[in-house]
Amino acid sequence: MTPLARRRLGKATLNALGVLVFAMATFPVYWMVSTAFKTNDQIFTTDFIPFPTQFTLEHVQRVLSEGVAGHSIWLYLRNSAIVALGTIVIGAVFALLSATAVARFRFKGRTPFLALLLIVQMIPAEALVIPLFLSVKRLGLYDQLLGLIVTQVALTLPFGIWMLRTFVAAVPKSLEEAAWIDGAGRFTTFWKVLFPLVAPGLVATSIFSFITAWNELIMSLYLISDPTKYTMPVALQYFFGQKGTDWGAIMATSTMMTIPVVVFFVVVQRRMVTGLVAGAVKG
């Protein structure tokens, strides 16, 4: 074989591998979506039906009208959205303040604080949920979406600060100094100079927190018992254990739950890598 032919063959092999990886990663997702649009005849069969040839919206309509546990999926989507949005609104403010502190200032206790951020991320939610359940009950926040929001802020904040600090640090300090020299006060400098430049990072961080809160199961499972306050991950469980599993409805629901995450994911994917492995990747 000539070197050129060999290189072509090598390239073809690589591309084939790429297609294989693509198929491996997407097929289960495709299977979820396609099941959601198949008729029950095509779902409950031992045959392989690659496409929903009898395309139907019955499952989507059913979960939207009848829903789970007596309530439309809209209710659970709304609850999940309230919790996730509440988490990012509160979380973003706190994260920005703390991130500014660690990225813009050198002070005693900065390194311990950074270490603390990493340590607390390790704490398993399974461990926190027991004492939080007792506290939330005592404070009258049990069965309240607010109680859930508060715990989600806590779960997402450490990573939020960790991620946002790299964005704050990337804004040249000279810009703030210029504003300072022009007579701007501390608050004006922060609001008019730093904030607009950090905004994209803040969006990325918020989206990350949104996804975490949207997906979270443990807190939602044990801090909420009122079915009208369920979030999507909890509501999804209710399709199991009924008489026979309604796979069409499950797949329609999980597809609806997945869509917002996929959209957001595309937006922040690269930022997330830099945030998580920050410091480890040496250019």
Partner 1 sequence: MTNTSTLPRGGDRSPARGSRRPNPPRKASGLPAWSIPYVLLVPGLLVIGALLLYPLIQMAIIAFQKVGLVQISGKKPATWVGLDNFTAFVDNDIFWSSLRNTVMFAVIAVPLTLVLGTAVGVLLHRLGKKMSLFVIIGIMFAWAVPPVAQGVIWRWLFDAEAGIVNWALNLLPGWFSTALFGRADWTGEPWLNDPWSIYMVLVICVVWAGFPFIAVSVLAGLKGVPAELYEAAKVDGATPWRTFWRITFPLLKPVFAVLTVLSIIWDFKVFSQLYVLAGTNNREAYNLSMYAVTEAFKAPPKMGSGAAIALVLTVILLIVTAAYIRQMFKQEDT
Looking only at residues 7 through 66 of this chain, which bind partner 1 when binding is defined by CB under 8 A? 11, 14-15, 17-18, 21-26, 28-29, 31-32, 35, 43-48
CA distance 74 to 156: 25
| Stretch touching partner 1 by CB under 8 A, among 1-9, 59-67, 68-76, 105-113 | 105-113
Nearest residue to 118 via CA among 151, 157, 170:
157
Q: Which of residues 209-248 bind partner 1 (CB under 8 A)?
A: 214-215, 217-218, 221-222, 232-233, 236-237, 240-241, 245, 247
User: Under rule CB under 8 A, how many of the chain's residues touch partner 1?
Assistant: 116
Pick between residue 75 and residue 95 the one whose CB is nearest to partner 1. Answer: 95
Nearest residue to 178 via CA among 206, 197, 153, 152:
197
Nearest residue to 158 via CA among 246, 95, 247, 67:
95
Helix (H, G, I), strand (E, B) or coil at 225: coil
Answer for which of 69, 82, 169, 197 binds partner 1 (CB under 8 A) is: 169
Answer for which of 1, 4, 5, 127 binds partner 1 (CB under 8 A) is: 127
Nearest residue to 143 via CA among 234, 74, 64, 215:
234
Q: Which residues contact 231 (CB under 8 A, 6 or more apart)?
A: 76, 79, 80, 83, 148, 216, 220, 224
Q: Is 279 left (phi over 0), alpha (psi -120 to 50) or beta?
A: left
Pick between residue 85 and residue 101 the one whose CB is nearest to partner 1. Answer: 101
CB of 35 to partner 1, least distance (A): 7
Task: Quote the strand ranges of 53-171, DSSP E.
Answer: none
Q: Which of residues 241-260 bind partner 1 (CB under 8 A)?
A: 241, 245, 247, 250-251, 254, 257-258
Per CB under 8 A, 1 contacts partner 1: no
Per CB under 8 A, 126 contacts partner 1: yes
CA distance 57 to 36: 8
CB of 228 to partner 1, least distance (A): 19
Q: Which of residues 172-201 bind partner 1 (CB under 8 A)?
A: 173, 180, 183, 185-187
Per CB under 8 A, 274 contacts partner 1: yes
Answer for which of 89, 139, 170, 199 binds partner 1 (CB under 8 A) is: 170
Are the C-beta atoms of 92 and 204 separated by less than 8 Å? no
